[in-house]
Chain A
Amino acid sequence: MASARHPTLTAKAAGLIGCRACGRVSPGQTHICPRCGGRLEPNRGFGLQRVWAWLAAGVICYIPANLYPMLRTATVATGTAENTIVGGVVELLHHHAYGVAAIVFGASVVVPMAKFIAIAVLALSLRSHARLSSHRRHRLLEIMDFIGRWSMVDVFVVAILSSLVQLGYVVSIHPGPAAALFALSVAFTMLAAQSFDPRLIWEKDQGPSA
């Protein structure tokens, strides 16, 4: 472990810059990594602005995604029914498919909401003294990065249902506008989590490492 004998030296403190993609160290003002061609961004403050921008875009798309219908089901018996994201979960509950209802609710409501809040809290925590340790916050960011893509499940469900259930007058399912809005929201929050540089969290933590 790094102790008082080995004070923590970051690449930045040494006047160097490390590549986020491949770990290669380059002189401080390099813009393109000589090994993998990735962008290095000597000024990390700009990265945070990008996080806020993608996050805002994600939230903006998420609101109408919940208001417009995700699925339009037309059956000969009941006519046309429209389902929003939450409506689809409620319908699954009526069919007593509790496990699947939980998966869909988790992927399309809990995960996006948790992501919005977590990324905003992490970004705000960089401004002032953070209550959570750097380890905890880094872990939180990794979890957000990992689970974000699973929100896309609902879009794929709509794609499969509306391509498969085309039985003429008996029953047919068509996608609604919410599918596109929701897919955009997921993509934007994924970009927000990806552009969040974990080194910003550790930058404040310059003391002897834990």
Chain B
Amino acid sequence: MSAPNTPATAQAALPPLETLVACPACDLLMSVPELTSETRCRCPRCHHLLYAPRKQIFAKVIALSLTVAILMVGAVFFPFLQISAGGISHASSIFDAALAFSDGLLLPLSVAVMALIVVLPMLRVTLLIYTLWPLSQGHRPWPQARRAMHFSEAIQPWSMAEIFVVGAVVALVKLAGLATVTLGPAFWAFGLLVVVVTVKDNLICDWTLWQALDTPR
């Protein structure tokens, strides 16, 4: 446990609500510590990670989000995998993978797959850039920034780009004996994208971002 993170005592009269924080996992009431950069604070009761602020977080997250957006455009439109057997060959993009379910009753699954691997990751980086860009320039947040931030947090578990890459590897192994498979440029773009997304998500400390939105400018 870190020193600034003292649990509020029952006897003391409650200070203003802005100076308190409740652990999202176990509800322990604490006073908000003075945070210096690069300290990680955990809840003293349940060890849930509360704050992990980092230096120049806005610039880093914006840069990584833009990288994700650019890689995603490449990953969607270039061929992902190409297969050939018996003199016939066929290339498919990520777009085609989502549309694999598009005939008949499985159409909703097509929409869902498209959302999980392309739309939600794109939406998340767009919302993050929208929230953080004005803050990084020292301006007031743009309208609805709080809603954008909340929404981008909510869709995080549903953006499944990294799981899609594991799926691609499994598919490659399944096809190994059946046909010759060539990896397209989109495969590498998507693989790189997954790394960037993971780095970005590990950088983000919700607490720092909310605190920045709360700071009047």
Contact (Cβ within 8 A) A168 B88? yes
Which residues from 144 to 177 on chain A have a C-beta closer than 8 Å to any C-beta of chain B? 145, 149-150, 152-168, 170-171, 175, 177
Decide yes or no: A160 and B116 within 8 Å by CB, A11-B29, A180-B106, A199-B26 being known contacts: no
Q: Are A38 and B170 in contact (CB under 8 A)?
A: no
Q: Mark A1-34, 1 if CB is under 8 A from B, else 0.
A: 1100011111111101111111111110000000
- A161 and B9 within 8 A (CB): no
Q: A7-B10, A180-B101 are in contact. Are A160 and B171 (CB under 8 A)?
A: yes
A26–B68 alpha-carbon span in the complex (Å): 36
Digitize A137-148: 1 where CB-to-B-CB distance is under 8 Å, 0 elsewhere. Answer: 010000001000
Q: Say yes or no: A164 contacts B27, CB within 8 Å.
A: no
> Is A198 located at the chain interface by the 8 A CB criterion?
yes
At the interface, yes or no: A53 with Cβ under 8 Å from chain B? no
Instruction: Bin chain A's interface residue count.
Output: 35 or more
Determine whether A119 belongs to the interface, using a CB cutoff of 8 Å to chain B. no
Q: Name the distance in Å between A122's Cβ and chain B's nearest Cβ.
A: 14
Do A156 and B163 form a contact, CB below 8 Å, given A35-B214, A165-B175, A170-B85?
A: yes
Residues in B neighbouring A199, C-beta threshold 8 A: 25-27
Q: Is A131 an interface residue (CB 8 A)?
A: no
Interface: A36 (CB within 8 A): yes
Contact of A156 among B21, B29, B99, B117 (CB under 8 A): B117
Chain A residues within 8 Å of B33, by CB: none
Residue from B1, B9, B24, B176 within 8 A of A1 (CB atoms):
B1
A92 to B172, CA, bound (A): 12
By a CB distance below 8 angstroms, the chain B residues around A154 are: 167
Contact of B45 among A18, A25, A97, A202 (CB under 8 A): A202
Are A149 and B29 in contact, with the CB atoms below 8 A?
no
CB pair A164 B25 closer than 8 Å: no
Known: A164-B83, A171-B178, A180-B108. A153 touches B27 (CB 8 A): no
Bits for B94-133, please: 1 = Cβ < 8 Å to A, else 0. 0011111100011011001100110000000000000000
Assess whether B170 is in contact with A104, with CB atoms less than 8 Å apart. yes
With A159-B167, A170-B85 as contacts: A25 and B17 at CB distance below 8 Å: yes
For A165, the chain B residues whose CB sits under 8 A away are: 83, 90, 175, 178-179
List residues of A whose CB falls within 8 A of some B CB.
Answer: 1-2, 6-14, 16-27, 35-38, 92, 95, 97, 100, 103-104, 134-135, 138, 145, 149-150, 152-168, 170-171, 175, 177, 179-180, 183, 187, 190, 194, 198-199, 201-203, 209-210
Residue positions of B touching A, CB distance < 8 A: 1, 6-10, 14, 17, 20-29, 44-47, 50, 80-81, 83, 85-86, 88-90, 92, 96-101, 105-106, 108-109, 112-113, 116-117, 146-147, 149-150, 153-154, 157-158, 160, 163-164, 166-171, 173-179, 181, 206-207, 210, 213-214
